[in-house]
Amino acid sequence: MRLPSLLTACALGLTALVPVGAAAAAAPAAPSADTWAVPRTAQVTIQGRGFGHGHGMSQHGAEGAARQGLTERQIVEFYYPGTAWGTAKGRVSVAISADTDDHLVVRPRPGLTVADSAGGGRVRLPENGAKQWRIAAAPTGAWRVSYRTDRWRRWRDLTGTGELYAGGKPITLVTPTGEKPYRGRLRAVRVGTDVVTVNDLTLESYLKGVVPLEIPALWSPAAVRAQAIAARTYAAYERAHPRSASYQLCDTTSCQVYDGVAAEHPAANAAIDATKGQVLTAGGEPAFTQFSSSSGGWTSAGSVPYLAAQEDPYDGWAGNAVHRWRTTVDDTRLERAWPAVGDLRRIAVTARDGHGQWGGRVRTLRLTGSRGSVTVTGDAFRSALGLRSTYLTLGVAAR
């Protein structure tokens, strides 16, 4: 869901190959604009449009629309037609993927407290010269709070789960790859055999660690406000459909990218504050407001009616480097990705979504070679070759 190096495309949804059999290799494909013969040694040129799955809001399109004078409300109403306006507040809980070890470690700070989920209220941790505080499983299976000076020393064992809080100030989490500050509360929970660090914080504070990673904070204010509304709505939807009994959201592109206080930017914070609580709804519930970097000029149909396929007149502004793109690969790249075909002889696009140039996004292709044929989804083709989208066409030439 980010732009190139700032916005990444959403999950690819790979689909397995479907072998057709060696007999299909001898069957000639009907010639069409979507069928290409492949010489023994060939280069495949791929022309494409857009970046990402194309569902819902194009982030580049939001910027293009803002440059044409649209407000944030007009932008999101265009990209999510048929939705209504509502409000969302409260808290969210996010699994922190960077903390991959089996305990929760933080830096000390004034006002740091620990709470036991089994009751007893918050207890202030002593300012005793500790370099770090840790919540980890004790040999008894209980959660143990310890502190490190020259070594780890036991402070007390808890009856329930431990949660750390710093009176509204950020807490610095120590992870195997570095230190990161987070707002709200941090707790360690068991998910199966794993220990997961969960950040519990207000929805608005969470957005401050999301929006600048999903869109450049210094883009047009209306575009950044539109992203804040889409991201808030998406988070509210995910909260209503939690990832786990122990947390609601993840912090990767499988949900929305979230990186705590380190990601925050004043311009994005202003956009979040300006749209406080605003969400889109469908059927009285938060809408599934998917978004991606660039539509390429047409959005694609998603899983709900308001993620409609429609022409996007805003995506193609001059600053959008991924509105159109091109790359070239050798035929051997395809043969390595799908060895069942042998020596590649023919590529045929067998289905498109029907919207936009070339007939729209590729749904399926058939690769035919000396050993047989395979049918692959457009998403699998995109993933294997590292392409920006499935909105593409091909060209083949001998090399």
Please determine, for residue 89, whether its predicted confidence score (pLDDT) is greater than 50: yes
DSSP run (H or E) holding 189: strand 185-191
DSSP designation for 6:
T
Residue pair 256/1 in contact by the 8 Å Cβ criterion: yes
Q: pLDDT (tens digit, 9 = 90+) per residue, 166-224?
A: 999 999 999 999 999 999 999 999 998 899 999 999 999 999 999 999 999 999 999 99
Q: What is the DSSP letter of 203?
A: H
Rounded to 10 degrees, the C-alpha dihedral 78/81/85/89 comes to -90
CA distance 85 to 107: 41
pLDDT for the residue 29: 37
Residues 337-377 have pLDDT tens digits of: 999 999 999 999 999 999 999 999 999 999 999 999 999 99
Q: How many CB atoms lie within 10 A of CB 313?
A: 12
- Residue 89: name the closest of 231, 269, 232, 242 by CA: 232
**Alpha carbons 219 and 230: distance in angstroms, whole number:** 16
pLDDT at 33: 81
**pLDDT, tens digit, 9 for 90 and up, residues 311-331:** 999 999 999 999 999 999 999
DSSP state of 298: B
Name the band, by pLDDT with cuts 50, 70 and 90, for residue 8. very low
Indicate the helix (H) or strand (E) that contains 72: helix 72-79
| CA–CA dist 377, 120 (Å, integer) | 55
What pLDDT is stored for residue 23 in this prediction? 33
- E strands, 262-302, are 278-282, 285-286, 291-292
Question: What DSSP character marks residue 89?
Answer: -
- The CA distance from 229 to 231, in Å, is 6
Residue 32: per-residue pLDDT:
57
Structure token pair of residue 36: 């290409």
pLDDT at 1 over 70: no
Whole-number average pLDDT of the chain = 92
pTM: 0.90
Phi, psi of 254 (to 5 degrees): -70, -20
In the chain, where the domains are located: 18-51+322-398, 59-88+207-242+260-292, 93-203
Report the pLDDT value the prediction gives residue 120, as an integer from 0 to 100. 84
